[in-house]
Amino acid sequence: MVLRALPLVFVLCGLVLYAVLGGADFGAGVWQLLAGSRRARATGSRACPSLDGAGVGANHVWLIFVLTVFWTAYPRAFGSIASTLAVPLFIAVIGIVFRGAAYALRAGAASDRESGVIDTIFSLSSILTPFALGAAIGAIATNRVPVGNAAGHLFSSWLNPTAIFIGALTVSNGAYLAAVYLAADAAHLHEPALERAFRARALAAAVIGGRARDRRRVRRQP
């Protein structure tokens, strides 16, 4: 029994590492999308290169690690999840591909218009991917993924209030982590204005995420 559960420990550890490190990577795109004014856009444009320079962009390896261990140790459960939740998982993969392509093309943009389009694709992909992954986790948590090949509904399994809430919370947590890391990076570079800007964003994301969780708990109480 212990040996059966041991791979699950590695899966959970990999998920935590991906949520913390990869989540911050996605959160950088959130702040880039929300940057409105010229000064805010300058702040948001620091998010992507700063996190990538810290090595966060390589943290999709943790997702591959989780999928490999889970597929090898629990093939029946993996097949059930991958078939029922094929739509959100496909959306997440598309988001990861578009996000990586946008980042690669960003340096070669020939005009401000091209840079704006690439940055928008990067930011939208950074929101869409964690939301889809969070919604998939919400579907599993609410027991909407029955055992069997495509035994659950392709859409209602993850398009329900709880799954959508967890998806939005995943995006919010990523934004919080990105702001915290970027505030620390700005402090290390001795840029107090940038540090204050990202510290304010971190506090805002923490308040929004915390209040959302509290409201969810209140609604679930009898």
pLDDT digits (tens, 9 = 90+) for 8-48: 999 999 999 998 888 888 988 888 887 754 444 445 455 55
Q: Provide the total of helices (H) and of strands (E) in the chain, helices listed first.
A: 10, 0
Q: What are phi and psi for residue 97, nearest 5 degrees?
A: -65, -50
DSSP 37: S
Total tally of structural domains belonging to the chain? 1
Instruction: Give the rounded percent of residues in the chain with a pLDDT score beyond 70.
Output: 84
Mean pLDDT of 73-82: 94
Mean pLDDT, the chain, as a whole number? Answer: 83
pTM of the model: 0.83
Domain that holds residue 45: 2-220
pLDDT of residue 221: 47
Longest dimension (CA), the chain: 60
Which among 213, 167, 204, 180 has a CA at the least distance from the CA of 25? 180
Is the separation of the CB atoms in 202 and 174 below 8 Å?
A: no
Most confident of 44-53, 70-79, 96-105, 189-198: 70-79
Residue 195 clears pLDDT 60, i.e. is over it: yes
Between CA 92 and CA 113 the distance in angstroms is: 26
pLDDT of residue 69: 95
Any idea which of 53-62, 85-94, 165-174, 187-196 has the lowest mean pLDDT? 53-62
